[in-house]
Amino acid sequence: MSIKLGFVVSEFNRDLTIQMETLGKEHAAFLGATVEKIYYVPGVFDMPLAVKKMAQDKTIDAVVTIGCVIQGATKHDEIVIQHASRKIADLALEFSKPITLGISGPGMSRLDAHERVEYGKRAVEAAIKMVKMLQQ
């Protein structure tokens, strides 16, 4: 039985998140999983609500988040990732469903972000491993 994934993808820094999404889709196919649904949200901070909606879908085995938070002039990047990741982790526990963190940042430059586009691939791999572990 194929593992069915849902993606929640941030549109902020889309030049980077599209690369992360593409690598994630390719890796899912390579591992024999399918990406059944994709929700696009404005930014990483907006992800928890979409993740919750996706987690409620009984046809989805795991949710993969894909985003990129680049450092600015303030500590805004730290606040965004800290709060979003906490809520995402809480939702995984609430729904007993793997929800992986394919979000790069905080504290990185645009160049750092380019070097971390494989986070989408890593998040897919983690989701599949968690589904398999939970099925045992």
pTM, entire model:
0.96
The pairing of beta strand 62-68 with beta strand 34-41 = unpaired
Residue 69 counted as an annotated binding residue: yes
Q: Are 85 and 67 within 8 A, CB to CB?
A: no
Among 27, 76, 83, 114, which one carries the catalytic annotation?
Answer: 76
Q: What is the CATH code of the structural domain delimited by 4-135? A: 3.40.50.960
Domain chopping of the chain, boundaries: 4-135
Residue 112 counted as an annotated binding residue: no
Q: What is the mean pLDDT of each run of 10 residues along the chain (136 residues)?
A: 95 97 98 98 98 98 98 92 96 98 95 95 98 96
76 catalytic per annotation: yes
Residue 74 counted as an annotated binding residue: yes
Q: What is the pLDDT of residue 1?
A: 74
Dihedral pair phi/psi, residue 120, rounded to 5°: -65, -40
